[in-house]
Amino acid sequence: MKKWLLLLWAICCLQVWAQELRNPIIPGFHPDPSICRVGGDYYLVNSSFEYFPGVPIFHSTDLQNWKQIGNVLNRESQLSLKDATGWQGIYAPTIRYHQGRYYMITTLVGGSGNFMVTATNPAGPWSDPIWLKQGGIDPSLYFEGQKCYMVSNPDNTITLCEIDSETGRQLTESRGIWQGTGGRWPEGPHIYKKGDYYYLLISEGGTELAHSITIARSRHIYGPYEANPANPILTHCSVKAQDNPIQGTGHGDLVEDPDGHWWMTFLAYRNYNGSYHHLGRETFLAPVEWGSDGWPVVNGGQPIVLNEPPKQKRYIDFSKPLGPEILYIQNPDSSAYWQHNGKMRLYGSAHEMTLNRQPTFVGLRQEAAKFTMDTKISAFNFNDGDEAGVCVYQMHEGYVQCCLNNSQSVSHLKLRMCLKGVRALILDKSIGSELLDNLWLRVRSDSSYYYFYYSTDGEKFRLLDSVHCSLLSTETVGGFTGVTLGVYAHMNNREGEIRQSYADFDYIEYIEE
């Protein structure tokens, strides 16, 4: 009886504690979180799909305040994203630490499959890929003594083998150890040892509304594994959470803090304008208590509470080296980007974004529903069909561009949308050629609409038009990413031609409201 009273007291304390947690802890397009602790330091990585550099890595000392310290995959020798879409590229990574070395293991979908990289400093540099034999996605590592085990999910089965942590060579045959509780797409496996049991944490139901986290345990690493009778241990596909703006909870990873408390990082998304999400899947945190029966209870069994982080302000100063938050779509063509005289000079790709072939784009993640993004643009030597401006990008089949465009020797401001691969012109406004080197562009959102503006003095902005945010949601467009915001250029030249036209951007300012 005393044990049950203690557990009830602990759960009540957790519920109060959980109400005060900041969630999401890493907002915007930061899905599939994995976490490890080294002493008093926590390190967290996310998947990055079609974007370069890949696998952002964050550091924290308190699980609430996180700073991006780099990107694990920041060289072409580590990551080739040729023709990758928002459905492909780098899937869920796992980060682990063992005997002075950090390990990150992940899957290159549309490429060569599973691989791992290593480093002695989590900020890098990280090694070139060590390719692995066992297939499936969402691989994870578990170290025990000198042994290194790998789990992934080929054929919808959580599968285990032993590998050489130095060479990646597979040392034992792959063995299926669990297929979950019957939910579709059992994935995201992680193994932990606590007491006498090995615990196998996975996700089921797909990374959508029915997403959930389940757990099983065994006294032997190869099983048989017994499912928790209280599964799923986390889901918002429930009566309790049906009106919660946070949905799609899943893909968790556990960590123990120095005081012996346990925590789970996991992904979820925030709905806007009904059942739509456009910011992508984000990183959340919940406390975990282990019951007297040896099973974990997440967040006291209650839904996750939305408690948004402080509003951010970013000023991308092109006179300085770019920070780790900067993104490119696929591997950037280095000849198209030049930081010069305090500006970012873009020599536009010959391919429009819909074609998905290394478009010239510099961006960052949208991390709040309400924001304003400004830039100043100057265009030089524009020929017919050349354009440059700002882009709100979900994937190559769904984006909005507000741009300077040259057509039949007349300068235009155009607002264009691509939806399911079909490009449509929303607005075409003729402007004077003197604005080509004296124009400011702005994107603002109130969580329901994206509004597009221009200015000739940087002070007074005039509205061009708006686009509903749901049109750039995952439900409408597809993909596994979230909206990114950036500047771009497209020049109507053939591949191999000498580039003569270009656009200079002075800065990108992003302010959350």
Q: Which residues are annotated as catalytic?
A: 32, 187
Angstrom distance (rounded) from CA 424 to CA 157: 43
In sequence order, what are the beta bridge partners of 349? 490
DSSP 483: -
Element (H, E) at 16: helix 2-20
**Rounded distance between C-alpha atoms, residue 25 and residue 282, angstroms:** 8
The span from the CA of 470 to the CA of 447, in Å, is 9
Beta strands in 83-182 (DSSP E): 89-90, 94-98, 101-109, 113-119, 130-131, 140-144, 147-152, 158-163, 175-178
Instruction: Quote the CA–CA distance of 440 and 461 in Å, as a whole number.
Output: 8
* Tokens encoding 144: 């025990």
**DSSP helix/strand/coil, 500:** coil
Give first-to-last CA distance, the chain, whole Å.
50
As given in the structure block, the two tokens for residue 199 are: 């615990």
d(CA 90, CA 48) in angstroms, rounded, equals: 5
Residue type, 183: G
| Cα–Cα distance, 115 to 507 (Å, whole number) | 37
Cα–Cα distance between 138 and 190 in angstroms, integer?
A: 9
Angstrom distance (rounded) from CA 387 to CA 380: 10
